[in-house]
């Protein structure tokens, strides 16, 4: 199994380690629920070094990415600006989701999922006119998230303050050897730091010293689920389109720009969509692959779990396109059908429940 | 004391205490709660339900997964612990205080046939 530069720190902290896409990663450091609350209420940090940053370099990079990505990097006008996008197959299936940063006109950085990194590199290389690609395995990644995340980051790493104090949401900037981005996967404010691997341990320990709580993949999953953010491989994959995955807002279909998958998305209006479910009674926990019954037909849960913030079970589910938020549906748990309410994700944003009437 | 000596155990990770009145109190082991992680949901059998030996009769769900709890013997459910339904995290705090249900085994059941602590620990090591 592969290990990140922070692996010895996780082991020393007594983390429960698990295999995630071939990487030995911390699931939790004792209490997944307390880690979740730390991010909602204060500040937590995640080792996300298993994800891969790839620098794309050369004069034709913007033109290439306009064709390779479903979202349009023409939207990236100021240096440092970031954009979320899917990478699609010709048939519209989702190969991966990523964040792309515009650093210079001849330098863009994409950050892709761990499990798909090699597939993505091969895919990009196979497209016409692919610019030079530089996988940045020399960088570790630490996501610092929560209402106090930025203040505690500056306390731990004062050298980052000047470059990141005025950083807008979804912008990144280089601060010495560290790349700081105001992005994340939790629905809270915070930073994602790309740090030279040799400095990863010291950076982590400084953050811990400033009161940032180490958090594992367990909390990362419940936080992103509450924030209504998709997980590649669960909520979408090559068999579905972004329009069937709650990601229509990330697909720039208008205009003349051609991109891989565009024709297929145009030709194939979605029959299904991704919605949120909230369990209204008791009966168990919503989990991936459970069957969903709506007034308009059947569907399936793609991600589910117990929400520590809402203290009830929530899920993302793929259902017939007409299934409306505010209506009820049923989910099968252990051969019994239980009532759920269909909602529009997210469930929680900046620490606050968004569907308090339920 | 991860698996106390005065209790008996099953291969399906229940602990069993033989009470003076002949009933059995059943819960899940330290090893089970540790492997499953933080508990968020508990479903217990109805009092009066007749159980077959090794029948799944309760469900516990953690942040990670759902898991069945099995009957250590054939018999009848006499009582259930509603407190643990309201507060599933008690199973992590102290799995031996947070019992799940109490049952009356059929005549002839011998709790001595269940595993001793050392044998159970050997099985989960």
Q: What is the pLDDT of residues A147-164, one digit of tens each?
A: 999 999 999 999 999 999
Q: Is B64 close to A284, i.e. CB distance below 8 A?
A: no
Phi-psi region of B20 (alpha: psi -120 to 50; beta: other; left: phi over 0): alpha
pTM: 0.95
Query: With contacts defined as CB-CB under 8 Å, which chain B residues touch A314?
Result: none
Q: What is the CATH number of the domain that holds B63?
A: 2.40.50.100
Give the residue-averaged pLDDT of A317-322: 97
Do B37 and A287 count as a contact with CB atoms less than 8 A apart?
no
* Eight-class DSSP state of B53: T
pLDDT higher than 80, residue A39: yes
Does a structural domain hold residue B68? yes
Per the CB < 8 A criterion, the answer to whether A37 and A226 are in contact is no
DSSP run (H or E) holding B31: helix B30-36
The reply to whether residue A218 touches residue B64, judged by beta carbons under 8 angstroms, is yes
- Substitution target in B63, B65, B86, B88 with the highest count of A β-carbons within 10 Å is B63
Residue B113, in any domain of the structure: no
The answer to the question of residue B72 being in a domain is: yes
Residue A268 confidence class, pLDDT cut points 50, 70, 90: confident
Using CA atoms, how far residue A139 sits from A111, A177, A199, A203, in Å, is: 11, 10, 9, 12
Interface test with A, best of B31, B34, B38 (most A CBs within 10 A): B38
Interface of B with A in 63-82 (CB under 8 A): 63-66
Confidence of residue A357 (pLDDT cuts 50, 70, 90): confident
Residue B13 lies in a domain: yes
In a domain, B45, yes or no: yes
Model confidence at A355, pLDDT cuts 50, 70, 90, reads: confident
A244 touches A111 (CB < 8 A): no
Nearest CA in chain B to A287: B65
pLDDT at B1: 65
The answer to whether A287 contacts chain B (CB < 8 Å) is yes
Instruction: Flag whether B75 is in a domain.
Output: yes
Q: What is the H or E stretch that residue A154 is in?
A: helix A149-156
The minimum CA-CA distance between A188 and chain B, rounded to whole Å, is: 21
ipTM score of complex: 0.90
Q: Establish if B16 belongs to a structural domain.
A: yes
Number of separate domains in chain B: 1
Would the CB atoms of B63 and A306 count as touching at under 8 Å? yes
Span A320-334, pLDDT tens digits: 999 999 999 999 999
- Average pLDDT of the segment spanning A272-284: 95
Going along chain A from its start, the domains and CATH numbers come out as 7-48+137-226 (3.30.1360.120), 271-353 (2.40.30.110)
Q: What is the average per-residue pLDDT within A101-129? A: 97
Residue B118 lies in a domain: no
Mean pLDDT of chain A: 97
Q: Which residue range forms the structural domain that includes residue B58? A: 8-107
Q: State whether B38 and A285 contact (CB < 8 Å).
A: no
Contact call for B37 and A222, based on CB within 8 A: no
- Which among A218, A222, A284 has the least Cβ separation from residue B66? A284
Instruction: Convert the pLDDT of each residue in B93-105 to its tens digit.
Output: 999 999 999 999 9
Looking only at the bridges linking them, the beta strands covering A107-112 and A94-104 are: antiparallel
Interface check B41 vs A, CB under 8 A: yes
Q: How confident is the model at residue A143 (pLDDT cuts 50, 70, 90)?
A: very high
């Amino acid at each position: 199994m592969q290990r990140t530069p922070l692996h010895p720190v996780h082991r020393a902290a007594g983390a429960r380690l698990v295999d995630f896409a071939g990487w030995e990663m911390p699931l939790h450091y004792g209490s997944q629920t307390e880690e979740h609350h730390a991010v909602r209420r204060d500040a937590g940090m995640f080792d996300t070094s298993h994800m891969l940053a790839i620098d794309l370099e050369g004069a034709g990079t913007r033109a290439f990415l306009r064709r390779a990505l479903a979202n349009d990097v023409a939207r990236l006008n100021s240096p440092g600006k970031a954009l979320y996008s899917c990478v699609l197959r010709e048939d519209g299936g989702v190969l991966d989701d990523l964040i792309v940063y515009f650093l210079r006109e001849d330098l863009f950085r994409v950050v892709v999922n761990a499990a798909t990194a090699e597939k993505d590199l091969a895919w990009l290389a196979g497209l016409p006119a692919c610019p030079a690609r530089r996988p940045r395995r020399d960088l570790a990644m630490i996501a610092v998230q929560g209402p106090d995340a930025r203040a505690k980051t500056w306390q731990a790493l004062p050298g980052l303050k000047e470059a990141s104090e005025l950083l807008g949401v979804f912008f990144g900037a280089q601060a010495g050897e560290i790349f700081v981005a105001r992005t994340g996967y939790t629905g809270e404010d915070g930073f994602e730091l790309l740090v030279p691997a040799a400095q990863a341990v010291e950076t982590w320990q400084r953050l811990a010293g400033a009161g940032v709580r180490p958090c594992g993949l367990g909390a990362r999953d419940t936080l992103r689920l509450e924030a209504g953010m998709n997980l590649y491989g669960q909520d979408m994959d090559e068999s579905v389109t972004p329009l069937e995955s709650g990601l229509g807002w990330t697909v720039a279909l208008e205009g003349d720009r051609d991109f891989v998958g565009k024709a297929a998305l145009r030709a194939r209006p979605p029959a299904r969509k991704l919605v949120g479910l909230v369990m209204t009674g008791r009966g168990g926990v919503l989990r991936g692959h459970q069957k969903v019954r709506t007034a308009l037909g059947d569907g399936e849960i793609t991600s589910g779990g117990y929400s520590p913030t809402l203290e009830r079970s929530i899920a993302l589910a793929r259902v017939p396109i007409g299934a409306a938020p505010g209506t009820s549906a049923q989910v099968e748990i252990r051969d019994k059908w239980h009532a759920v309410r269909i909602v529009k994700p997210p469930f929680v944003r900046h620490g606050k429940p968004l569907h308090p009437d339920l | 004391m991860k698996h106390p000596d005065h209790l008996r155990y099953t291969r399906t990770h229940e602990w069993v205490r033989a009470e003076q009145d002949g009933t059995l109190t059943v819960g899940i082991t330290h090893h089970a709660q540790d492997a499953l992680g933080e508990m968020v949901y508990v479903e217990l059998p109805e009092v009066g339900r007749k159980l077959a030996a090794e029948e799944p009769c309760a469900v516990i769900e953690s942040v990670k997964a759902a898991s069945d709890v099995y009957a250590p013997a054939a018999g009848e459910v006499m009582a259930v612990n509603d407190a643990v339904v309201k507060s599933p995290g008690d199973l992590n705090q102290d799995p031996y205080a947070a019992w799940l249900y109490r049952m009356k085994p059929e005549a002839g059941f011998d709790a001595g046939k269940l595993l001793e602590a050392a044998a159970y620990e050997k099985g989960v090591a």
